[in-house]
Amino acid sequence: METFRGQSDLVEFISQDVSTIYYRQVVVTRLRKMVGDKSPPLLDIPTPPTAMALTGITANYRDGIARIDYYFQGERDSGIQSDLVMSTEGSLSNEPITSHRKISGLVQGYSSGMRSGKVLWKQYLNSGGSNGTDLNGNAVSNLNPFSNVDSYLSPGMNYTITQSFASVPNLQIRQVGKIARQALFGTLPQLPTDYGAGGWLYAGFAIQQQGSVYQVTLNYLKSGPGGWFDEIYG
């Protein structure tokens, strides 16, 4: 214990100093003599060891001694391992068949052209189709396997980066919905060359307060092959 200000009735010491990956919590304890049944002042706030925010005060009184605990929270200790977390989640979405990267070959080989943005699939092929029966049970051949196909499943990827900060960083709100060449913090995975330089889209962020620090999560979306259109998302 240490005695401060030369007062015999005031003992002040750090009774707790705990760091997590999110924040550092320090409890400064004061022991003071009570004068009769009068409580000592609680709002004479002690100075924490570093720049920290006061989050609470508790007081207990026993045998003429007041114990006052002041709770402070601040940025985590630099010696604590960073809480940077990067994760990914795959997904599938229904997309129009006209957006498929091989649509030109499919139109040429299996349709009679396009009209109003839709593919006019042939019902039968000259050769190479499949066999089956019609509604009357008659055997038919060379059925077009793409007949009535108007969509396909496209693989996607959602990539998130999470880290905690003492204050909210600049999240570049105006860049949400635009091509991301690099992450605001952390790193973006390298995509194959057929995704081009515009392979990631900054899809927004989420903020959650954890004590006196802020946990920030960035969201990025992977494009289809060829990348995001720079004319739209640039």
Residue 79 belongs to a domain: no
Residue 176 belongs to a domain: yes
Q: What is the pLDDT of residue 87?
A: 93
The structural domain count of the chain equals 3
Q: What is the pLDDT of residue 133?
A: 65
pLDDT in tens, the chain (234 residues): 344 444 456 788 999 988 776 778 899 999 888 877 777 888 889 999 888 889 999 999 888 888 999 999 987 766 555 678 889 988 888 888 888 888 888 888 888 888 888 888 888 787 766 676 666 666 777 788 888 888 888 888 899 999 888 788 899 999 999 999 899 998 988 888 777 777 899 999 999 887 667 889 999 999 887 788 889 988
163 and 89 in a single domain? The answer is: yes
Q: What is the pLDDT of residue 180?
A: 93
Q: What is the pLDDT of residue 2?
A: 42
Burial class (CB in 10 A: 0-12, 13-18, 19+), 152: middle
200 and 216 in a single domain? The answer is: yes
Q: What is the pLDDT of residue 6?
A: 40
Q: Rounded to 5 degrees, what angle do the CA atoms 50, 5, 43 make?
A: 60
182 and 89 in a single domain? The answer is: yes
Residue 119 belongs to a domain: yes
190 and 89 in a single domain? The answer is: yes
pTM more than 0.75 = no
By residue range, what is the domain housing residue 7?
2-74
